[in-house]
Protein backbone atom coordinates (compact mmCIF):
# COMPACT_ATOMS: atom_id res chain seq x y z
CA UNK A 1 0.00 0.00 0.00
CA UNK A 2 2.84 2.39 0.86
CA UNK A 3 4.62 1.65 -2.41
CA UNK A 4 1.48 2.46 -4.40
CA UNK A 5 1.17 5.86 -2.66
CA UNK A 6 4.82 6.64 -3.42
CA UNK A 7 4.31 5.74 -7.08
CA UNK A 8 1.20 7.93 -7.28
CA UNK A 9 3.10 10.84 -5.68
CA UNK A 10 5.98 10.43 -8.17
CA UNK A 11 3.52 10.40 -11.08
CA UNK A 12 1.84 13.49 -9.64
CA UNK A 13 5.16 15.34 -9.47
CA UNK A 14 6.02 14.40 -13.04
CA UNK A 15 2.62 15.40 -14.40
CA UNK A 16 2.82 18.73 -12.57
CA UNK A 17 6.31 19.38 -13.96
CA UNK A 18 5.21 18.47 -17.48
CA UNK A 19 2.15 20.70 -17.17
CA UNK A 20 4.25 23.72 -16.03
CA UNK A 21 6.82 23.17 -18.79
CA UNK A 22 4.05 22.94 -21.39
CA UNK A 23 2.55 26.24 -20.20
CA UNK A 24 5.97 27.96 -20.29
CA UNK A 25 6.77 26.68 -23.79
CA UNK A 26 3.34 27.68 -25.14
CA UNK A 27 3.60 31.17 -23.66
CA UNK A 28 7.09 31.68 -25.14
CA UNK A 29 5.83 30.57 -28.56
CA UNK A 30 2.78 32.83 -28.28
CA UNK A 31 4.83 35.93 -27.41
CA UNK A 32 7.34 35.19 -30.15
CA UNK A 33 4.56 34.80 -32.71
CA UNK A 34 2.89 38.01 -31.48
CA UNK A 35 6.13 40.02 -31.80
CA UNK A 36 6.66 38.69 -35.34
CA UNK A 37 3.11 39.69 -36.27
CA UNK A 38 3.68 43.19 -34.87
CA UNK A 39 6.91 43.50 -36.88
CA UNK A 40 4.97 42.55 -40.02
CA UNK A 41 2.33 45.14 -39.12
CA UNK A 42 4.99 47.84 -38.64
CA UNK A 43 6.32 47.15 -42.15
CA UNK A 44 2.92 48.15 -43.59
CA UNK A 45 3.23 51.72 -42.25
CA UNK A 46 3.28 53.94 -45.34
CA UNK A 47 2.97 57.36 -43.70
CA UNK A 48 6.20 59.17 -43.02
CA UNK A 49 6.72 62.54 -41.36
CA UNK A 50 8.93 64.48 -38.97
CA UNK A 51 8.62 63.97 -35.23
CA UNK A 52 9.92 66.13 -32.39
CA UNK A 53 11.18 64.49 -29.21
CA UNK A 54 9.71 66.41 -26.28
CA UNK A 55 10.89 65.04 -22.96
CA UNK A 56 11.67 62.01 -20.83
CA UNK A 57 8.59 60.64 -19.05
CA UNK A 58 9.04 58.91 -15.71
CA UNK A 59 6.52 56.36 -14.53
CA UNK A 60 7.17 54.17 -11.51
CA UNK A 61 10.51 52.52 -12.34
CA UNK A 62 10.63 53.07 -16.10
CA UNK A 63 11.59 55.94 -18.37
CA UNK A 64 10.35 56.59 -21.88
CA UNK A 65 10.99 59.20 -24.53
CA UNK A 66 7.90 61.29 -25.43
CA UNK A 67 7.57 62.57 -29.00
CA UNK A 68 4.95 64.29 -31.13
CA UNK A 69 4.11 64.53 -34.81
CA UNK A 70 1.28 65.85 -36.94
CA UNK A 71 -1.00 63.85 -39.20
CA UNK A 72 -3.83 65.55 -41.11
CA UNK A 73 -3.43 68.67 -38.96
CA UNK A 74 -3.85 66.72 -35.73
CA UNK A 75 -1.10 66.54 -33.10
CA UNK A 76 -0.33 62.97 -32.04
CA UNK A 77 1.77 62.03 -29.03
CA UNK A 78 3.82 58.87 -28.73
CA UNK A 79 6.25 57.03 -26.45
CA UNK A 80 9.44 55.18 -27.15
CA UNK A 81 11.03 52.86 -24.64
CA UNK A 82 14.46 54.40 -25.22
CA UNK A 83 15.08 57.14 -22.65
CA UNK A 84 18.25 58.97 -23.58
CA UNK A 85 18.68 62.59 -22.48
CA UNK A 86 20.71 63.40 -25.61
CA UNK A 87 17.66 62.78 -27.81
CA UNK A 88 15.38 65.46 -26.33
CA UNK A 89 14.32 68.49 -28.46
CA UNK A 90 15.53 66.97 -31.73
CA UNK A 91 13.79 65.93 -34.93
CA UNK A 92 13.56 62.33 -36.17
CA UNK A 93 11.64 60.40 -38.78
CA UNK A 94 8.28 58.94 -37.70
CA UNK A 95 6.48 56.18 -39.58
CA UNK A 96 2.76 55.74 -39.02
CA UNK A 97 -0.28 53.84 -40.22
CA UNK A 98 -2.16 55.95 -42.76
CA UNK A 99 -5.53 54.53 -41.69
CA UNK A 100 -5.05 54.90 -37.93
CA UNK A 101 -2.11 57.16 -37.00
CA UNK A 102 -3.16 57.43 -33.33
CA UNK A 103 -2.75 53.70 -32.77
CA UNK A 104 0.05 52.71 -35.14
CA UNK A 105 3.25 54.76 -35.16
CA UNK A 106 6.89 54.58 -34.17
CA UNK A 107 9.92 56.86 -34.21
CA UNK A 108 13.20 55.99 -35.93
CA UNK A 109 16.04 57.22 -33.70
CA UNK A 110 18.94 56.03 -35.86
CA UNK A 111 19.53 59.35 -37.58
CA UNK A 112 18.71 62.86 -36.40
CA UNK A 113 17.03 65.07 -39.01
CA UNK A 114 18.03 68.69 -39.56
CA UNK A 115 15.00 70.06 -41.42
CA UNK A 116 14.66 73.66 -42.54
CA UNK A 117 11.79 75.85 -41.38
CA UNK A 118 9.70 75.33 -44.54
CA UNK A 119 9.82 71.56 -44.12
CA UNK A 120 8.80 71.88 -40.46
CA UNK A 121 5.84 74.12 -41.29
CA UNK A 122 4.71 71.64 -43.98
CA UNK A 123 4.95 68.85 -41.38
CA UNK A 124 2.57 70.82 -39.11
CA UNK A 125 4.93 72.43 -36.59
CA UNK A 126 4.75 76.10 -35.57
CA UNK A 127 7.40 78.36 -34.13
CA UNK A 128 6.42 80.01 -30.87
CA UNK A 129 8.01 82.78 -28.86
CA UNK A 130 8.66 82.63 -25.16
CA UNK A 131 10.49 84.83 -22.70
CA UNK A 132 12.89 84.06 -19.88
CA UNK A 133 13.85 86.52 -17.18
CA UNK A 134 17.57 87.07 -16.72
CA UNK A 135 17.55 88.07 -13.07
CA UNK A 136 21.24 87.71 -12.39
CA UNK A 137 22.90 89.80 -15.10
CA UNK A 138 20.71 92.18 -17.08
CA UNK A 139 17.38 92.07 -15.20
CA UNK A 140 15.55 91.95 -18.55
CA UNK A 141 13.33 89.51 -20.38
CA UNK A 142 15.10 87.62 -23.14
CA UNK A 143 13.04 86.51 -26.13
CA UNK A 144 13.56 82.98 -27.40
CA UNK A 145 11.77 80.72 -29.88
CA UNK A 146 11.08 77.02 -30.14
CA UNK A 147 9.21 74.63 -32.41
CA UNK A 148 5.95 73.11 -31.18
CA angle 143, 146, 148 (to 5 degrees): 140
Q: Among 77-91, 101-115, 118-132, where is mean pLDDT lowest?
A: 77-91
Note whether 109 and 68 are same-domain residues: yes
Residues ≥6 apart with Cβ < 8 Å to 111 = 92, 93
Note whether 27 and 51 are same-domain residues: no
**Mean pLDDT, rounded, for 94-114:** 87
User: What's the pLDDT score for residue 129?
Assistant: 93
**Mean pLDDT, rounded, for 68-91:** 86
Note whether 20 and 88 are same-domain residues: no
- Supply the DSSP string of 49-109, one letter for each residue: EEEEEEEEEEETTEEEEEEEEEETTEEEEEEES---GGGTT-EEEEEE-SS-TTTSEEEEE
Note whether 120 and 53 are same-domain residues: yes
**Mean pLDDT, rounded, for 73-80:** 88
Q: What is the pLDDT of residues 15-63, one digit of tens each?
A: 777 888 888 888 887 777 666 766 666 677 788 899 999 988 887 778 8
- Total domains in the chain come to 2
Note whether 17 and 63 are same-domain residues: no
Q: Which domain holds residue 35?
A: 1-43
Note whether 68 and 134 are same-domain residues: yes
Amino acid sequence: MIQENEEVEKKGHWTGLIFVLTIVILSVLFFRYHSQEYDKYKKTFKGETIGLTIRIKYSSKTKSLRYCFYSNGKKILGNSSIANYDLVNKFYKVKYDMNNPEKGHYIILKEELRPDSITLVKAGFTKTKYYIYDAGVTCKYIEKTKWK
